[in-house]
Structure 1
Amino acid sequence: MIAKSPIPVGSSIFFSFTLFIISVVVILLLRRYLTLRATPAYLVIPVFLALALPASVVLLVPIDLASSSRDGAGPKAIWLPDRLLLISWRIAYWLIFVLTWAILPLLGEYIDSGYRDPKGRLQYSIRSNARYQLIVLGCALVGLIYISILNGFKFRSIKGLIMAIAYVWGLVLAIYMMGHGLVSVPRTLFRNSEVSTRLRRVQAHAPRLHDRLMDAINELEGLESQVTQLQRRKTGSARDFQDWIEELAESSGTPEARTPLLEPSEGSSTIPNVITERYMADLTRRLQRARHQKARFVDEWDRLVLLASDLQAIINSSASKKLEFNHSPHRSTILPRVKILTPYLRYHVYANIVPKVRLIMGAICGAASVCIVWSELIKSLAPRLSVVTLSIVSYRKDPVPVDFGRQVVACAWLLYMCWAALVGISDAKVWGNRALVRRNTYGESACWYAGLVARLTVPIAYNFLTFLPLSFRQNTTFYHLLGQYIDLTPLGKGFDYFFPVFILIPVAATLFNLYGRVKNICGFGLIEEDDDDMENNPSGYGIGGWREGRDLIERELTGLGSLGLSGRGVSPRATSRTDEGGAFSTSRTSRNEAIRPSRPTRGPATASAVVDEQEEEETFFQSFAHRVKNTFETADKPQWMQGDFFRVPQWMGNEGNENNNGLGRWFGGRPTPGGVRL
């Protein structure tokens, strides 16, 4: 029986107000990535719950710690009655469970189906999720047989098995993503503290992003050409889907008015003789994905160009001590809009204050990452040495209740662990075409990211709870809801203690750049690493270097590039090919030669060239060697060295000798063209 407790008025008001603030923040977040007016309610509500409920879990854990450790007088903290706390935990946990394992997967495939009628969408969604659900059901059935033999067929055992399987899967994913983020967060802050280094990294990333944008445009043009061919068909099976075809054509615009990047090949735009509903749904699905993929890379390219422009402006202002950003409606920064900042004050903010703040935040986050990794390793051996534990629980003879200050510390630890896991999700490259785009996120991507956030929060929260002493942890309501069922099953018993030790694997992989080495060996990587190009090609010459990225960005800012920030014109200078599967794609070498601008010749140095010369100061010997090399390369050849002055005698070569009687036949020359010498 749960004892009745008086209702704390102040804590209840604070809890309600905090939930309201969380809801407002989530709505603003949805407004940033979705067009709320054009998004249906059946998508907005589940995504809202999938983001708001995990945020409430981060709030409930510190409240649960204070409520379970309070004495008769009550601690000076935010606490709730046991009954209210239990109801809140049940609502949050089971809603998250249903959303992540049933509603969001079905809803994502429902949106991505491509069918027009709800029945076809629902059938496609069920078929797409059936394989995954059958695999999970098979694992659950095997576990149910084992648990029934061990403990008997009881509802408590079945409930514990379901909760343990969900927790184990979420903990495996959370530990991997959090381990990567614990290194990536402070390292990114340190690297971005230096403006010139950050600009080089942005420029090195520009060619690869530009190639992806070109590929997205090419793919969309190929699919829209298929819609154009379907629209021209007026007979046969195409008449049955005329409304569907016209709808696709209207959403694509007028293809005749656009200038395609590539001329569509015959094989890439071939449509079948018999048009079926399945083909139309597949074409609609591919067309939707291609549009959102293009919108994703367009948004990334705009933000990269504007960021490079801002960083270059900060570097150029070092002489005048006055900073002015280019006015643009697509600004990604907020401070330049503030009118109280004069150019002189703005320069000191961006050149002096912001870099130092990043260094300080990087040091704080680095120390926090070390403390979390240390606590994961030491909690099962010597819990009294855990830094996270000591910041929340006191090891005196008489335990001290968790006060408001320790609640704030616990909430900060939880927020940083969740932040690190989310950074690992954004850096990973195994999610296909899913991405978050400002005001234009695909519905399936929104469902997938929201479900992943909800799926990782509960395991991270309970993993944080394992830092605390066993006697302290068992008194919490969260343990009574989830922990006892995990410990009841052999799958979960001890798993939450020994498995977090494997956090060293993603930490070491990120710290020592093992992802880049795997990518160099196997040709693919799991994590997006932009520093590989800087390490392999520090000079920046060649295709894909930072110098090429600098030229692409400069051409984009001056309006000479193939893409424009104001209007998206498409350059027709490229060649196309069709791969074995018939997909419309672009040859990499020909595309690079056609789209990427040639390097400018030597002339008056621009602002960026001046910065490059300042950053790449040569020694005396390097400068002398370069001048000697330039002297020999630019010198004209003498008259006696021009032309074919030295000719090879006819008896030493094979030219004009069909019988191959020259010296070449003595060393294995071919007797006749196309023949083989044995």
Structure 2
Amino acid sequence: MIEIAASPSSVPSVIFAVVALFCIFVIALLILRYYLPLRTTPAFLLVPVFFALWLPASMVLLVPIDLASSAMVDDIDAGGIWLQPRALRVSWRITYWLTFALTWFILPILAEYADSGYREPKAKLLDSLRSNAQYYAIVFGIGALGLIYIIISYGGLSTSLKNAVIPLAYCWGLILAIYLMGHGLVSIPRRLFRNANVADRLRRIQVQAPRVYEKMDDAETELEDLEMQVAELSRRKGGSVSFFEDWVEELVDMTNLPESQPGRASVVRGSGNQSPLPNVITEKYLAELTRRLVRARHARSRYVSEWNRLLQDAVKAQTVLDSAASKLIALGKTSPNAGFWDRHTLLTPYTRFLLHYHLVPYLQIALAAILSLASVCIVWSEVVKGLFPQLSVIRYSVIHHQVGSKGQIGFAGQVIAALWMVYMCAAALISITEVKVWRGRALVRRNTAQESAFWYASQVARLSVPLTYNFMTFLGSIYKDTVFFDFLGKLINLTPLGKWFDYLFPAFILLPVCATLFGLYGKVKRVVGFGVDVLDDDDDEDTNERGTAYGTGSWREGRDLIERELNGTSATLRARASGGGRSAGAAAPILSIPRAGGRGAGAGGGAGSRGGPTTPFGTSPDAGGPSSRPQANTSARRVGRSGGASSAVGLDNEHDDDENFFEALGHRVKNTIDTLDTPKWFQEIKKPKWMGGGESEQGGGSSGGNSDLTRWFGGGGGGGGEGRIRL
């Protein structure tokens, strides 16, 4: 047992711990409310997901208390929060074993249960167990190998099971935690540095717009195909469908097909396509159809939400840039669904301009510098803790008092330790949201899929214990006196293999750090091919280097796409009802990219406002910039899977540093040719077959002025070129 000197009274520490746990309880509940509708979410989802968030978060409180309690001496009170050893041991046992059960058993089974397409609970449960059979086979197989190793090393079966389960679970979680944390330690500061430049942030948003729009369009198409399949299934009468009439009616209620929609299905079927429905409808087929339909609906909701967030960020960045001339960001019309802080503000238009144009960028740079220094300290401590633990920077930031050979941790040291743990956990958890995970799991505000909620909660529970114990190893020999080490650390260090793994493997954090820092994921993507999914942060790195991303258009296409959406001319407005969008009735400013040199250089590059915009700042028409400024002509190219469309005439309004001499010459020659009236005798000339002409073509030109000569200067003949000279 651990001998700890008794303090005069531990009641203040107990009260503080209870209040802190209640605050963590409220924070976890607010996080759930942000991603899930609490009133309509079933209890079998809310309760385990809540505990999967609350229990790991409570470790941030237990670790500093455990460190201060174990470091106390008889005649010195360091002034920290401390508890009795028995209370700490009970708290650690409850927290660890509940987290262990949630990670490896409860959450995986419930996730597959929620994802199952069957109707009956028993059928859902059996389908969940079948889906997890392979997962449990791998887990139990590795556990059996570890159990055999421990039995051979120490003998005895009575305690070997527990001694094998805890180290193996820790090692698997540590591998995942080190990789994710290494990526997050670079990604978080770099994102803050990049977002400090509003012009560059707007350019990245515009580059991402075609890619997000294409994914949203694909999700809508897939959902429409499944809805058409359900509509065709509902028209079947008799046969095997009669046994599942209630099920089919539920599927029809899940779709958004109007009454005239079945006509489209018959037209498609009449065009020669084979019917996707099997001749015999079975329970397994309906379960798979239900699963696919639910996934498609959540995928559409995910990309619609991502698209709406991208629009809001674009309008916000453009509003900040346009405010450079007037020095005002006025509060205009707000959405009826806006929150309390969005409807009420104490800032004037000028102070709001100072905040968002001057203060926020510098605050982001300062925070990024602090977090960069913290990341360097964490990486350094991971590398040196095995061989030179006395060089750990985190150790000296937490232990402020030294009594003989024993370090003392006061309240300030406990606060610093909690901040270190929060940053390490945040780096790992943010990386989870950036990774392109399997099956398209994502967190969507107020509309997260049940299976996605279970999966993300299980990752939080899986990473908490390895990160907690990994942090305690930064502090030198003091952590060996804690209750947590007596409960968990001894089992991890039970075998030489586990001890060396715990000390040496964290040094491999340099691999994800270097891969993220030098853009290794993007380079692998370019070498392997276009179908490889990498981290979003590396897509941003590719964007900065080339001005475009793989499989997407340029930032000009994104700008035009965002502009059409904000002006209400985009076809995605029909999908807005499913994801919740911006307030109706207000047009938004035309978005144009400024110079990338800095905020001041790009402030005057925005176009004038068109109508009365409703932005995240609520910018009114007379607040963004001079109303007499001429509006920029923008391209009307269509972005998506369809072919090219016509280009507008005003491309010469782009900045000089965004196009070279040949592009500028091509734009001007193309505009000149497009404005000429094609002679009648030239229209009657037929194209020879070797130039791609056919009998159905009337001539080499068109009445709109887009003659074939424009193709020599980048024109599309029918629109769709970008106006570049082809050499």
Q: Are 1:392 and 1:407, in contact at CA under 8 Å, matched by a contact in 2? A: yes
Structure-to-structure mapping, 1:410-421, within 5 angstroms = 410-421=417-428
Cα drift, residue 324 of structure 1: 3.3
The answer to whether residue 190 in structure 2 is matched with residue 187 in structure 1 is yes
Q: Deviations over 1:223-254 (max 9, x none)?
A: 11111111111110000000000011012133
Cα drift, residue 3 of structure 1: 5.1
Structure-to-structure mapping, 1:295-444, within 5 angstroms = 295-324=301-330, 327-329=333-335, 337-393=343-399, 396=402, 397-444=404-451
C-alpha separation in 2, matches of 1:595 and 1:338: 46
Q: Deviations over 1:633-678 (max 9, x none)?
A: 9479999xx9999xx9xxxxxxxxxxxxxxxxxxxxxxxxxxxxxx
**Match of 2:500, as an amino acid?**
G
C-alpha separation in 1, matches of 2:641 and 2:96: 55
The answer to whether residue 200 in structure 2 is matched with residue 197 in structure 1 is yes
Q: Are 2:59 and 2:468, in contact at CA under 8 Å, matched by a contact in 1? A: yes
Query: Please, which moves more after superposition, 291-300 or 387-396?
Result: 387-396
Residue of structure 2 aligned with 1:553, choices 562, 573, 576: 562
Structure-to-structure mapping, 1:424-503, within 5 angstroms = 424-470=431-477, 472-503=478-509
C-alpha separation in 2, matches of 1:193 and 1:17: 36
C-alpha separation in 2, matches of 1:628 and 1:276: 61
Q: Are 2:232 and 2:262, in contact at CA under 8 Å, matched by a contact in 1? A: no
C-alpha separation in 2, matches of 1:282 and 1:618: 50
SS in 2 for 1:318: helix
SS in 2 for 1:296: helix
Residues 287 and 186 (structure 1), Cα distance of their counterparts in 2 relative to 1, 3 Å cut: same
In structure 2, the partner of 1:96 is 99
Residues 435 and 155 (structure 1), Cα distance of their counterparts in 2 relative to 1, 3 Å cut: same
Cα drift, residue 532 of structure 1: 4.8
Q: Are 1:54 and 1:453, in contact at CA under 8 Å, matched by a contact in 2? A: yes
C-alpha separation in 2, matches of 1:122 and 1:62: 41
The answer to whether residue 233 in structure 2 is matched with residue 230 in structure 1 is yes
The answer to whether residue 655 in structure 2 is matched with residue 602 in structure 1 is no
**Match of 1:525, as an amino acid?**
D
SS in 1 for 2:447: coil
SS in 2 for 1:76: coil
SS in 1 for 2:493: helix
Q: Deviations over 1:360-395 (max 9, x none)?
A: 000000000011111111112222221111112358
C-alpha separation in 1, matches of 2:662 and 2:109: 68
The answer to whether residue 295 in structure 2 is matched with residue 292 in structure 1 is no
Q: Are 1:220 and 1:287, in contact at CA under 8 Å, matched by a contact in 2? A: yes
In structure 2, the partner of 1:166 is 169
Cα drift, residue 289 of structure 1: 0.4
Cα drift, residue 526 of structure 1: 2.7
Q: Are 2:219 and 2:296, in contact at CA under 8 Å, matched by a contact in 1? A: yes
C-alpha separation in 1, matches of 2:145 and 2:492: 17
C-alpha separation in 1, matches of 2:307 and 2:563: 13
Q: Are 2:334 and 2:342, in contact at CA under 8 Å, matched by a contact in 1? A: no
Cα drift, residue 36 of structure 1: 1.0
Query: Please, which moves more after superposition, 268-277 or 281-290?
Result: 268-277
SS in 2 for 1:564: helix
Residues 153 and 569 (structure 1), Cα distance of their counterparts in 2 relative to 1, 3 Å cut: closer
C-alpha separation in 2, matches of 1:595 and 1:331: 37
C-alpha separation in 1, matches of 2:3 and 2:343: 55
Q: Deviations over 1:400-438 (max 9, x none)?
A: 410000111111110000010011111111333110011
Residues 618 and 448 (structure 1), Cα distance of their counterparts in 2 relative to 1, 3 Å cut: closer
SS in 1 for 2:534: coil
In structure 1, the partner of 2:68 is 66
Residue of structure 1 aligned with 2:547, choices 511, 517, 538: 538
Unaligned runs of 5+ in 1: 571-588, 649-678
In structure 1, the partner of 2:572 is 563
In structure 2, the partner of 1:207 is 210
Residues 360 and 95 (structure 1), Cα distance of their counterparts in 2 relative to 1, 3 Å cut: same
Cα drift, residue 478 of structure 1: 0.8
Q: Are 1:551 and 1:597, in contact at CA under 8 Å, matched by a contact in 2? A: no
Unaligned runs of 5+ in 2: 580-636, 689-727
User: What is the number of residues matched between the two proteins?
Assistant: 617
SS in 2 for 1:525: coil
Cα drift, residue 490 of structure 1: 4.0
C-alpha separation in 2, matches of 1:541 and 1:40: 41
C-alpha separation in 2, matches of 1:238 and 1:632: 60
Residue of structure 1 aligned with 2:248, choices 224, 245, 248: 245
Structure-to-structure mapping, 1:521-532, within 5 angstroms = 521-523=527-529, 524-528=532-536, 529-532=538-541
The answer to whether residue 640 in structure 2 is matched with residue 592 in structure 1 is yes
In structure 1, the partner of 2:24 is 22
Query: Please, which moves more after superposition, 424-433 or 400-409?
Result: 424-433
Q: Deviations over 1:54-81 (max 9, x none)?
A: 0001111111110000112432011111
C-alpha separation in 2, matches of 1:637 and 1:564: 37
Q: Are 2:638 and 2:645, in contact at CA under 8 Å, matched by a contact in 1? A: no
C-alpha separation in 2, matches of 1:233 and 1:279: 15
**Match of 1:79, as an amino acid?**
W
SS in 2 for 1:420: helix
Residues 531 and 326 (structure 1), Cα distance of their counterparts in 2 relative to 1, 3 Å cut: farther
Structure-to-structure mapping, 1:26-41, within 5 angstroms = 26-41=28-43
Q: Deviations over 1:193-233 (max 9, x none)?
A: 01110000111111000000001001111111111111111
Q: Are 1:392 and 1:410, in contact at CA under 8 Å, matched by a contact in 2? A: yes
Q: Are 1:181 and 1:420, in contact at CA under 8 Å, matched by a contact in 2? A: yes
Q: Are 1:190 and 1:358, in contact at CA under 8 Å, matched by a contact in 2? A: yes
**Match of 2:173, as an amino acid?**
G
SS in 2 for 1:340: coil
Q: Are 1:33 and 1:438, in contact at CA under 8 Å, matched by a contact in 2? A: yes
Query: Please, which moves more after superposition, 389-398 or 554-563?
Result: 389-398
Residue of structure 1 aligned with 2:44, choices 42, 45, 48: 42
Residues 357 and 58 (structure 1), Cα distance of their counterparts in 2 relative to 1, 3 Å cut: same
**Match of 1:76, as an amino acid?**
G
Residues 618 and 299 (structure 1), Cα distance of their counterparts in 2 relative to 1, 3 Å cut: closer
Residues 540 and 492 (structure 1), Cα distance of their counterparts in 2 relative to 1, 3 Å cut: closer
**Match of 1:380, as an amino acid?**
G
SS in 2 for 1:380: coil
In structure 2, the partner of 1:57 is 59
Cα drift, residue 481 of structure 1: 1.0
SS in 1 for 2:57: helix
SS in 2 for 1:173: helix
Q: Are 1:541 and 1:547, in contact at CA under 8 Å, matched by a contact in 2? A: no
Q: Are 1:317 and 1:347, in contact at CA under 8 Å, matched by a contact in 2? A: yes
The answer to whether residue 210 in structure 2 is matched with residue 221 in structure 1 is no
Cα drift, residue 590 of structure 1: 11
Structure-to-structure mapping, 1:510-529, within 5 angstroms = 510-523=516-529, 524-528=532-536, 529=538
Q: Are 2:187 and 2:516, in contact at CA under 8 Å, matched by a contact in 1? A: yes
C-alpha separation in 1, matches of 2:263 and 2:388: 65
Q: Are 2:301 and 2:578, in contact at CA under 8 Å, matched by a contact in 1? A: no
- With structure 2 as the length reference, what TM-score do the two structures score? 0.79
Q: RCO greater where, 1 or 2, for CA within 8 Å and sep 6 or more? A: 1
Residues 118 and 259 (structure 1), Cα distance of their counterparts in 2 relative to 1, 3 Å cut: closer
C-alpha separation in 2, matches of 1:181 and 1:393: 26
Q: Are 1:518 and 1:525, in contact at CA under 8 Å, matched by a contact in 2? A: no
C-alpha separation in 2, matches of 1:540 and 1:71: 60
